[in-house]
Every structure is written in structure tokens, then in C-alpha cells.
Amino acid sequence: MLLNIIDPALIDWSRAQFALTACYHWLFVPLTLGLAVVMGIMETLYVWKKDPFWKRTAQFWMKLFGINFAIGVATGIILEFEFGTNWSNYSWFVGDIFGAPLAIEGIVAFFMEATFIAVMFFGWNKVSRGFHLASTWLTGLGATLSAWWILVANSWMQHPVGMAFNPDTVRNEMMDFFAVAFSPVAVVKFFHTVLSGWMTGAVFVVGVSCWYLLRRRERAFALASIRVAAVTGLVATLGVMFTGDRSGIDVARHQPMKLAAAEGLRRGGTQAPFSIVPGVEVPGMLSVLATHDVDGFVPGIDDLLDGYTAPDGTQHLSADERMRRGRLALDAFAAYRAHAKSDPAAAAAARKVMDEHMDHFGYGYIASRSDLVPPVTLVYWAFRVMVGAGCLLLLVLAAMLWYGRGGRLAAKRPLLMAGLWSIPLVYLAGQAGWVVAEVGRQPWAIQDLLPVNAAVSQLSPASVQTTFWLFLVLFTVLLVAEVRILCGAIRKGPEGDELLPAGEGR
């Protein structure tokens, strides 16, 4: 018997499963992106200086790259297909736009990655040095291109552009490919996310190298790795901060509720203060961050729900009004469907009403205005963890570079400890960032257009619960295995005798 209602438990479990897969996937992807750059630089140094020291250094990090890569691929395939399996309504409703970046990702990026990773791992004795170097960089480029397209897809959900709703096909249809593929929101998101991946790879290399120095092992290898990684990491961190600032502006403009939730801001205004932790505020700072103007207006959660008038005189509707207009749009849509074949005049009239209220379409599915507020505490703290960890990492990486000059680093044991502990920190920052981005936009699968309750596949909650637990157990076992294998490989160290650069005697 099919029940004609969506069970709230189904939505919760479907969200939980998607979140679980995404969180696990993001444990592996940033390391792939970051290590690709670090080992690319190292192999370039090898080809340039013809010093086998750099070859073996690059090879060591490639080995860790390979261990991490497979599990990233494994979690990624689930993520792609979950759009269909668990969000089937979504897949039709916006598949005309959303499918394209996923297909391009496969054709352009995944094949590049898959082809050249094989050359990178198996081609050392089979292809020329130049071809091998190119393969290493192309593997990283493939991973980065794949990030581009999937972040284009994600950005489109946060800020849908370049499409129009077609009531005959009951879906949104793409009108402007370049608006989707090169949306400014996507550009900012891409650099913010990919550079955070570089940070992760760099901090990982720094941390592991610090461990060797703490153990008084592999000194030359560790110091050289830190040099390459700290520079990469520092550049990346500054880039992450710059793009983070830009995305603050984007969020304030396109997803004000997310911003208000991330600040726990009930009532906003001009000269809005920034909360560092509850009770500690910097006056005017939030206005600066959100609008780059200390007198900029930032609405709070209640302003957004009640409706407000911005200082420039723009009226913003209340949530109840938007929900009312959303229902009008949905009713007009139903009327259009009913009359489309029989009564063209009635259909045209319904279409006119629908188009008029289309901006509020998604609000028609919202049952109560409290559903429009994301979990404030979670988003608030995730944001602070992300920014706080980022600032700490900047300090650690800068200190590594500073003391790295003249070989003083090996004696700075507290700094080496800090380097080691930066590894969990950088992962925490990345996960927290995605929590802000994704939890902060609830209840929207697509901002203002489709809430999660209208996006989900009609399954029994028990089915989704089963696959949730299945994936949780599976991914956790694989994660434990991966971490243990990585630790084993690190403990073993680079292959062969202790590595020394050319020209340095024993």
C-alpha cells in the first residue's frame, strides 16, 4: 500500500545518509588535492635538478596518495548515485541543469585522473621522465577539474542561476550554460574549497615530517618536505582566507538566513556586531564582513521571518507571505496542468499567476515558518571552529617557514608537536566548513526553489536506515584500515637507505 504522504523520518534518514557519505568523502578528497600539488612540485624538482633524492621523496608521498585515493573514489561513486537513489524528485526537477556538470566531470576529469594515475604509479620504468612528470601533474589536474564541476553543481544549489521553470515538463531547464558553469559564486567556492584541500595536503606533509623530526629520523627528507609543503600551505591558507571573505559576501547576498544562523543573530541592523564566542563581540564587524561596509545592513533570523525594510527602502517579505505566495504558485501550477490540454485560456491565466509568484515556488512546500531556520547552534559553532582552526594553522605554517631557514627547525620540539597536531586540526576545519555550507542552508536542497521534503525519493524510512548503517559500518571499517595502513607506511618511512640530497655527505 502506498501512503500518499512523505514521512519526516524518511527525510531525516535520507539527509543523514547523504551527510554521512559527504563527510567521509571529504576526509579523503582534500588530501588527494593537496598531496597532488606537493608531489607534483617534488617531482618537478627531481626532473629539474636530476637529483634522485627528490624522486624518492616524491615517491614516498605518492605512496600515501595512492592509499588515500582509492577510498576517496569509493565514497565518491556513492555520492554521485545518491542524487538518483535518495533524491529522485530532485534529479528530475533540476536534472536538466544539474546532470550536465556531473557528466562533464566524468568525461573531462575522471578519465584524466584514472588514466594518468596508472602512468604515475606503474610508468616509472616504462615512460620517459617528462611524460611521467606530465602524468603526475595531469592526475592532480584531473582531480582539480573534477572539483571544479562538482562545486559548480553545489554552487548552483546554493544560488540557482541560468534556468527557468517549465510547467509542461515540470522541471527547471537550463537557459544559459555559462551562467551555470562560471557563476561567480562557483568561482569563489572552487578556490575556497580547492585551496583548503591544498592546505590539508600541505599540513599533512608538514605534520608527518614533524613526526620524523621528533623521532630524529629522516632529517633531510623531513626538512625538505616541510620546505615545499609550508610554502604551498601558506599560499593556500592566505587564498582560503581571501576567498572565505568573498564567500561571506555571497552568503550575505544570496543566503541571508545561513549567515544569520552562523552568527546566531536574532535581530540584525546596521553596524551589526560579530560574535567571537557567545558574550564576546566586535562591534560593527559583521557588517564589515557581510557587506564590506561598517554601516551595511545585516538581517537577523527574526527579521528574515517577520519581513523587514532594508535601509535602501527595499521591502523584504515575511516568511508567512512567501509561503502564501508559494502556495499560490503551486496551485496555479496544478491548475495549469489540469487545463493545459483542454482549456488554453484557463491554462494561460494559471501560468500567469504561477510566473508571477515563481520566486516563492519553493516556499509553497514549507509547512511552518520555523522550518526555515537551520540548526543555529551547530552552524554557529562549526563556523567558529573553521575560522579558528584556519587562523591557528596559518600561524603554525608561518612559524615552520620562519624557523625552517637555517635548519633551526629540528630543535624546536614544541613547534614540531604543534605541526603534528595540526593534522587533526586541518581535517576539523574542512569538515566544519562543509557543515556551515550545507547545514546552514537547510531546509533547502536548492535555495528558495526546492526544500528537502520535496526533493526526496519515496522509499520506506527503514530501507534508507538500513543503507545508512551499512555505509556507516563499511566506511568506518575502511577508514580505520586506511589510517592504520597510512601509519604503517609512515613508520616504515621512505624506501631504502636514509635519504640525502645530492652533494650532502653522510
Residues 38-77 close enough to bind other proteins by CB under 8 A: 59, 63, 66-67, 69-71, 73-77
CB nearer to other proteins: pick between 234 and 319: 319
Could you identify the residue written with the cell 520535496? 454
Find the binding residues for other proteins in span 139-168 (CB under 8 A).
166
- Nearest-angstrom CA–CA distance, 472 and 467: 8
Find the binding residues for other proteins in span 317-336 (CB under 8 A).
327, 330-331, 333-334
Helix (H) or strand (E) holding 460: none
CB nearer to other proteins: pick between 63 and 159: 63
Does position 81 bind other proteins by CB under 8 A? yes
- Nearest-angstrom CA–CA distance, 459 and 486: 38
CA nearest neighbour of 181 among 142, 158, 150: 150
Does position 476 bind other proteins by CB under 8 A? no
Q: Is the distance from CB of 383 to CB of 437 less than 8 angstroms?
A: no
Q: How far is CA 503 from CA 53, 213, 496, 500, in A?
A: 10, 21, 18, 8
CB nearer to other proteins: pick between 271 and 463: 463
Does position 92 bind other proteins by CB under 8 A? yes
Does position 80 bind other proteins by CB under 8 A? yes
CA nearest neighbour of 72 among 133, 148, 147, 17: 147
Indicate the DSSP class of residue 372: G
- Nearest-angstrom CA–CA distance, 331 and 96: 24
Which of the ranges 174-182, 222-230, 300-308, 402-410 carries the binding residues for other proteins, by CB under 8 A?
174-182
Does position 417 bind other proteins by CB under 8 A? no
CB nearer to other proteins: pick between 325 and 412: 325
Binding string, residues 333-372; x marks residues near other proteins by CB under 8 A: xx--xx-------------------------xx-------
Q: Is 248 helix (H, G, I), strand (E, B) or coil?
A: helix
How far the first Cα of the chain sits from its last, in Å, is 78
Find the binding residues for other proteins in span 97-126 (CB under 8 A).
97-100, 102-108, 110-119, 121-126
CB nearer to other proteins: pick between 64 and 436: 64
Per-position DSSP letters for 98-135, written without gaps between them: HHHHHHHIIIIIIHHHHHHHHHHHH-TTTS-HHHHHHH
CB of residue 161 to other proteins, shortest distance in Å: 15
Which of the ranges 239-247, 291-299, 429-437, 463-471 carries the binding residues for other proteins, by CB under 8 A?
463-471
Does position 477 bind other proteins by CB under 8 A? yes
Count of positions on this chain that bind other proteins (CB under 8 A): 101
